[in-house]
């Protein structure tokens, strides 16, 4: 009745740096930031010095404030567009331009697809990153004195020094004056954020010819609609062009899609020539020149076996050979015209390769869509699916109660096999049940009386999988304990699998689920997890 299985379970910089926004103009370099990267926390003994001085602040590098000059720029990571969740601690890449005072004043400068209307994204995917080009020198008080960059989610310490929130993670003393501080619960400095949002900037695509200027707060909305913005071809040909040149590019794109005039299928312009050689509805004449004309390729193919002149056409006719010398000279023609025939084959192979490339691109696109859809299905199954994870707290206390027989069996909260499915409840004898007492953990499942029983098929016949969850922090080292039950209804199972007439049916399950001497592996911080999964393969969805 049961089988056991235990499987193991960006404004761009001159060097193209992407770790952290950088300015395009020359900036004073220090040992800690000479490569343009954001300082990283290291062990004290490996920590670089800045300006020839020993770094006294654990977890941070000393960096002299860099001077912004007119025309400097900052690259912003895609995740900089979204403001931080209300309950989340600031991250190094959170939107440093987000205004906590005005939620509509979001001024991130890097555009990502999720921020654009769906039709815009589909036709004009946004560039991966854009530049921020300031009109004037950025005031020194708007620069973080740790990373040397313009402030991101600025926080003001009690000593009045300003830093990026990410630069203060784990810091207990002001990096500038050394005074004690507790930046963890400090709010964003709204006044400074607002001041940053009012800085004058050029369009990120000024080099392409756009003469727009405005304030940083308005840059995002402009970039989305800027006709000079660089966008990649939506057909995947690899070309990047200004948005205003899209119509001209699409008209000559090598992956332009056209409609076959015969069958109506959409084919790439590059592959149309090959398609016409195979299209079953294309109008052609009999290749044997028997007089049958203007018929579809399907009709001609059906005619060929009975054609009175069959065997008189060069076998390379489909590839372009126009031989019309009759059957008696056909073999001589094939022998004497090898070079032309080889050329036909090479041309056909090239066209087939182009078609194969197009097919592979379509397959890749389809596979990506399938992956996205599968992830959505998995998410829905987790939300409304047929599994329940029972968390048993105070395991040691409950085990002692089971051992002393004061509370031999404990029950999980009731759960459903689906949104409108069977109502179920798990039970566990932590010290074992019956013959397994004192030796094994026993786990059972009972069918309870539910609201939708009248609509569900009976008896219950769905495979049940119990899993004792391994809580090893290393996911790759986890070894879950699994026990599978496949109900086989018969007359003796009325008390277990049929529609409940009482509050719940008798329980069925695994009397010898897990030996007690290995239970310690599955208990961490006095907590045990048991998962119950109901196979929905043949289950009726209400």
Q: What percentage of the chain reaches a pLDDT higher than 90?
A: 30
Whose tokens are 């769905």? That residue is 462
Rounded to 10 degrees, the C-alpha dihedral 461/377/375/224 comes to 180
Strands of 53-199 (E only): list them. 73-75, 131-134, 154-156, 162-164
Residue 451, H or E segment: none
Q: Which two tokens stand for residue 80?
A: 């900089």
Tell me, what DSSP letter sits at residue 504? B
Tell me, what DSSP letter sits at residue 187? P
Whose tokens are 């059972």? That residue is 444
CATH fold of 44-232 reads Herpes Virus-1 (3.30.40)
Q: Please tell me the predicted confidence (pLDDT) of residue 168.
A: 86
Range with lowest mean pLDDT among 87-91, 131-135, 141-145, 370-374: 87-91
Determine the 3-state secondary structure of 541 from DSSP. coil
Reply yes or no on whether the pLDDT at 407 is more than 90.
Answer: yes
Reply yes or no on whether the pLDDT at 314 is more than 90.
Answer: no
Reply yes or no on whether the pLDDT at 306 is more than 80.
Answer: yes
Overall average pLDDT of the 216-229 stretch: 89
Overall average pLDDT of the 84-99 stretch: 35
Burial 233-246 (b: 16+ CB within 10 A, else e): bebeeeeebbbeeb
Question: 289 has which bridge partners?
Answer: none
Task: Determine the Cα–Cα distance for residues 397 and 414; give it in Å rounded to an integer.
Answer: 22
Please provide the distance, in angstroms rounded to a whole number, between the alpha carbons at the two ends of the chain: 28
**pLDDT digit string (tens) for 319-363?**
777 776 666 677 778 777 888 888 878 887 887 887 788 788 788
Residue 386, H or E segment: none
Chain region(s) in the chain for CATH 3.30.40.10 = 44-232
**pLDDT digit string (tens) for 239-281?**
888 888 888 888 888 777 788 999 988 887 777 877 888 899 9
Q: How confident is the model at residue 373 (pLDDT cuts 50, 70, 90)?
A: confident
**pLDDT digit string (tens) for 201-213?**
999 888 888 999 9
Tell me, what DSSP letter sits at residue 19? S
Task: Write down the CATH number for the domain with range 385-534.
Answer: 2.60.210.10
pTM, 2 dp:
0.38
Nearest to 277 by CA among 349, 187, 208, 183: 349
Task: Determine the Cα–Cα distance for residues 283 and 291; give it in Å rounded to an integer.
Answer: 14
Chain region(s) in the chain for CATH 2.60.210.10 = 385-534
**pLDDT digit string (tens) for 465-508?**
999 999 999 999 999 999 999 988 776 666 889 999 999 999 99
Reply yes or no on whether the pLDDT at 88 is more than 70.
Answer: no
Reply yes or no on whether the pLDDT at 376 is more than 90.
Answer: no
Phi, psi dihedrals of residue 428, rounded to the nearest 5°:
-140, 130
Helix, strand and coil content of the chain, in percent to the nearest 5, comes to 30, 20, 50
């Amino acid at each position: 009745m049961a089988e056991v299985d235990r499987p193991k379970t960006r404004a761009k910089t001159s060097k193209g740096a992407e770790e952290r926004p950088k300015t395009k103009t020359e900036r004073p370099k220090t040992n800690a930031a000479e490569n343009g990267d954001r300082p990283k926390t290291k062990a004290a003994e490996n920590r670089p010095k800045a300006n020839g001085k020993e770094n006294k602040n654990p977890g941070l590098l000393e960096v002299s404030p860099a001077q912004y000059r007119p025309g400097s720029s900052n690259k912003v990571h895609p995740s900089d567009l979204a403001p931080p969740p209300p309950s989340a601690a600031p991250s190094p890449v959170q939107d440093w331009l987000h205004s906590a005072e005005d939620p509509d004043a979001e001024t991130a400068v890097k555009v990502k697809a999720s921020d654009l209307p769906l039709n815009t994204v589909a036709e004009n995917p946004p560039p991966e990153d854009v530049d921020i080009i300031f009109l004037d020198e950025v005031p020194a008080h708007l620069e973080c004195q740790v990373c040397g960059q313009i402030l991101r989610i600025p926080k003001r310490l009690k000593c009045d020094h300003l830093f990026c929130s990410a630069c203060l993670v784990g810091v207990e003393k002001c990096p500038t004056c050394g005074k004690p501080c507790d930046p963890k619960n400090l709010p964003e400095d709204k006044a400074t954020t607002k001041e940053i949002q009012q800085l004058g900037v050029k369009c990120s695509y000024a080099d392409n010819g756009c003469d727009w200027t405005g304030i940083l707060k308005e840059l995002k909305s402009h970039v989305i609609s800027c006709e000079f913005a660089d966008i990649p071809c939506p057909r995947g040909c690899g070309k990047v062009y200004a948005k205003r040149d899209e119509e001209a590019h699409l008209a000559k794109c090598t992956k332009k899609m056209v409609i076959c005039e015969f069958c109506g299928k959409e084919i790439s312009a590059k592959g149309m020539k090959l398609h016409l050689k195979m299209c079953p509805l294309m109008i052609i004449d009999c290749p044997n020149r028997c007089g049958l004309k203007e018929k579809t390729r399907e009709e001609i193919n059906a005619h060929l076996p009975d054609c009175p002149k069959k065997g008189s056409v060069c076998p390379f006719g489909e590839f372009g050979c126009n031989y019309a010398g009759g059957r008696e000279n056909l073999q001589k023609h094939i022998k004497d015209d090898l070079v032309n025939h080889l050329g036909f084959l090479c041309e056909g192979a090239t066209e087939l390769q182009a078609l194969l490339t197009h097919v592979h691109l379509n397959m890749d696109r389809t596979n990506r869509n399938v992956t996205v859809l599968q992830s959505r299905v998995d998410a829905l199954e987790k939300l409304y699916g047929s599994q329940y994870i029972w968390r048993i707290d105070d395991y040691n206390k409950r085990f002692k109660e089971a051992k002393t027989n004061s509370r031999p069996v404990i029950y999980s909260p009731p759960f459903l096999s689906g949104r409108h499915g069977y109502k179920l409840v798990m039970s566990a004898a932590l010290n074992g049940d019956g013959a397994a007492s004192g030796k094994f953990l026993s786990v059972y499942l009972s069918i309870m009386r539910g609201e939708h029983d009248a609509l569900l098929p009976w008896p219950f016949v769905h495979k049940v999988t119990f899993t004792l969850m391994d809580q090893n922090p290393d996911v790759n080292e986890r070894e879950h304990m699994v026990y599978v039950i496949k109900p086989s209804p018969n007359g003796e199972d009325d008390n277990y699998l049929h529609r409940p007439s009482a509050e719940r049916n008798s329980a069925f399950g695994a009397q010898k689920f897990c030996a007690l001497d290995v239970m310690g592996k599955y208990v961490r911080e006095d907590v045990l997890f048991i998962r119950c999964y109901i196979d929905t393969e043949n289950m009726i969805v209400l």
